[in-house]
Amino acid sequence: MSLANGFLPMTMEEVLELGIKQLDFIYVTGDAYVDHPSFGHAIITRLLCAHGYHVGIISQPDWKQDDSITVLGAPRLGFLVSSGNMDSMVNHYYVSKKHRETDAYTPGGTAYKRPDHATVVYSNLIRKKYRHTPIIIGGIEASLRRMAHYDYWSDSFKRSILLDSQADIISYGMGEKSIIEIADALNSGISVRDLSFIAGTVYKTKDLDGLYNYELLPSYDDMMADKRLYAKSFRIQHDNTDPFNGKTLVEPYSNGVYVVQNVPQKPLSTQEMDDVYALPYQRTYHPSYEAQGGVPAIAEIKFSLISNRGCFGGCNFCALTFHQGRTIQVRSHESIIEEATRMIQENDFKGYIHDVGGPTANFRQPSCQKQLQAGVCKHRQCLCPKPCPNLEVDHSDYLSLLRKLRKLPNVKKVFVRSGIRFDYLMLDKDDTFFQELVEHHISGQLKVAPEHICDVVLSRMGKPENAVYEAFTEKYRKLNQRIGKNQFLVPYLMSSHPGSTLKEAVALAEYLRDIGYMPEQVQDFYPTPSTMSTVMYYTGVDPATMKPVYVCKNPHEKAMQRALIQYRNPKNYDLVREALKLAGREDLIGFGRKCLIKPGKMTGETIPGKEHRNKNKTDGFSKKVSQKPGRKKTIRNVHKQKNLTRDH
């Protein structure tokens, strides 16, 4: 069911052109229509079409106009609603709560084309016009707000999005299996109110008689009154994110209403993953956006390949456990190579495959064989605080895939940019993958995510201790030296994560001083829905232990922690000086080589005792240090003076 241009219909004229009297489903999305498998709306709509359903798309409707939701008429089976590839609040706001000036998922990068809390707004708009038509919400916003949750932007504890949106059911997670089950059930005549049996869904009910083997969570009202109860509830939810050993969860609300979360959908097999990525995507944005300059987000993914899904890394600030799960799902080599071959034939392909990966590029197999029968462990992580004895480390499959892609005609370079889990890499006794990564798959710099260097903070983050990162940087340096390359590491660093006081922030600044690295941009901790770290931020306790944890919430202290990471920036001088005094570290204010700032205002980017470094700024600094002997100075050369902003 595609038009002559290969896309799905977006207007009633296009629906009629296809000879369709009434669409089965209408997908409403906060993103521009991009028919590429990196976009959730593309996968779900193409999958439904492959199962014989007629689907149309309403992209970025004007929520201030009631009729914007009626342009395709009423669907026969239901509306599908998503905020887009990002939570609409993360899409709209920096961690400072200032509005972003652009939106990469909108034609021309224009901001303000979707509302705050888009899933709720769109669904209520639909319910206003179509009182009895089923509404199924999904995507990352609905998925991560499926139960009661803390909303950072309003600083409030919100109900399940299912209640606020007036939707009938949530398809959470990636949703390929659950959406087809929902569609088939509705098509068979089953009422949406009776869809209580589908894995990977959340529904509301007043009757629990048909449920068994479920766990009753604290009520919304009780959690509102006691934050610690929310921390306990979240830990239970976190322990039941596996489809093989998870339980049905029930969250009570007033007036006898229950929100019921069924167990997650089962992971896709390799064949199922291949089938999803073999659907007839156009791999670009809708041609109607061309006049507006296209959709900026396509640039990052057009020449990239998705190799896997899921992550057993266990970072506490990441929501992947709640959305994609901890079980690794992979595509076959044949599927990926076939997609790469099509990509190579595109007119604007320049010979570079920008990425081959997923949430974590070097995860291409389950963390252990036990997962295949019993699921992931409920009460322990695979990598942290120490690697599990059952962890199986093997990069051979990923290495084989990269070698095959390198040999394809017209391919000059295959990069790995989606992130390497360096602690997993260090556990591999065979260095072949690491060597070939350094030799063939880095574009001059490798992005890694140590996040911090203080173990007390790293433990709250769910990251390995700093000694692991230190060993990794040294090995990376030696491998570069062995093959005669001068490539850099770009370490992602985070300020103000729960557990980080000014003491730890100062320690991080000292570390950066010692390696001669100052990030151009810093990621302040961003409390997004359904992460362990966000629960710490809101409740002040660690859900894993229920022990108190320090939380930096004061905007001024957050600014000081962030400024310490960029202590060389003259604009940060006053904040850095204040932070050092408050931390009792005035020994770092002076003219000594170990000092961070001078007693008076800094001028330029000069560091006390190291004025020679400022001659050529960042690039000159790297080159100059690389000519000097000594281990510390050599390590400095490993770190490029550049970093990129990211959001969690």
Cα 615 to its chain centre, rounded Å, is 38
For residue 548, give the CATH number of its domain. Answer: 3.30.750.200
530 and 552 both lie in a single domain? yes
- Specify if 219 maps to a domain: no
Q: Which H helix or E strand runs over 306? A: strand 304-306
- Specify if 293 maps to a domain: no
600 and 630 both lie in a single domain? yes
The count of domains in the chain is 3
Question: In 3D, which of 405, 397, 393 has the Cα closest to residue 441?
Answer: 405
345 and 476 both lie in a single domain? no
- Specify if 65 maps to a domain: yes
DSSP letter for 54, please: -
- Specify if 280 maps to a domain: no
The CA R_g of the chain, rounded to the nearest whole Å, is: 25
Answer with the one of 204, 223, 250 that is the final residue of a domain. Answer: 204
439 and 453 both lie in a single domain? no
329 and 189 both lie in a single domain? no
Q: How far is CA 386 from CA 6, 105, 197, 378, 424, in A?
A: 50, 39, 38, 16, 11
Cβ proximity of 536 and 524 under 8 Å: no
Q: Which H helix or E strand runs over 533? A: helix 532-539
Which residue has tokens 């990251």?
A: 463
DSSP letter for 612, please: G
SS3 state of residue 137: strand
Cα 505 to its chain centre, rounded Å, is 25
Cβ proximity of 173 and 324 under 8 Å: yes
313 and 191 both lie in a single domain? no
Q: Is 369 exposed, middle or buried (0-12, 13-18, 19+ CB in 10 A)?
A: exposed
Residue 627: what pLDDT? 33
Residue 601: what pLDDT? 62
Cβ proximity of 500 and 552 under 8 Å: yes
Q: Which H helix or E strand runs over 397? A: helix 396-406
Residue 626: what pLDDT? 32
422 and 531 both lie in a single domain? no
Sign of CA dihedral 195, 196, 197, 200: positive
For residue 314, give the CATH number of its domain. Answer: 3.30.750.210
CA distance 447 to 280: 32
As a dihedral over the C-alpha atoms of residue 289, residue 293, residue 299, residue 302, rounded to 10 degrees, the angle is 40
44 and 192 both lie in a single domain? yes
Return all residues near 7 (Cβ < 8 A) that are at least 6 apart: 33, 35, 282, 286, 287
Answer with the one of 171, 204, 237 that is the final residue of a domain. Answer: 204
The range of the structural domain enclosing residue 477 comes to 449-648
485 and 608 both lie in a single domain? yes
CA distance 620 to 614: 8
549 and 602 both lie in a single domain? yes
Answer with the one of 204, 226, 244 that is the final residue of a domain. Answer: 204
pLDDT, tens digit, 9 for 90 and up, residues 484-520: 998 988 889 999 999 999 999 999 999 999 988 888 7
Q: How far is CA 270 from CA 44, 311, 337, in A?
A: 18, 16, 14
- Specify if 236 maps to a domain: no
pLDDT, tens digit, 9 for 90 and up, residues 326-382: 999 999 999 999 999 999 999 999 999 999 999 999 999 999 988 878 889 988 899
Residue 622: what pLDDT? 33
- Specify if 214 maps to a domain: no
Peptide bond into 629 cis (omega under 30): no
Q: Which H helix or E strand runs over 510? A: helix 502-515
Question: In 3D, which of 500, 643, 648 has the Cα closest to residue 561?
Answer: 500
Residue 648: what pLDDT? 33
421 and 518 both lie in a single domain? no
CA distance 325 to 60: 29
Give the residues of the chain that fall short of pLDDT 70. 601-648
422 and 490 both lie in a single domain? no
For residue 193, give the CATH number of its domain. Answer: 3.40.50.2300
Longest dimension (CA), the chain: 79
27: left (phi over 0), alpha (psi -120 to 50) or beta: beta
In this structure, what token pair is assigned to residue 415? Answer: 């990069």
What is the rounded average pLDDT for all residues in the chain?
A: 91
Question: In 3D, which of 45, 115, 47, 56 has the Cα closest to residue 87?
Answer: 115
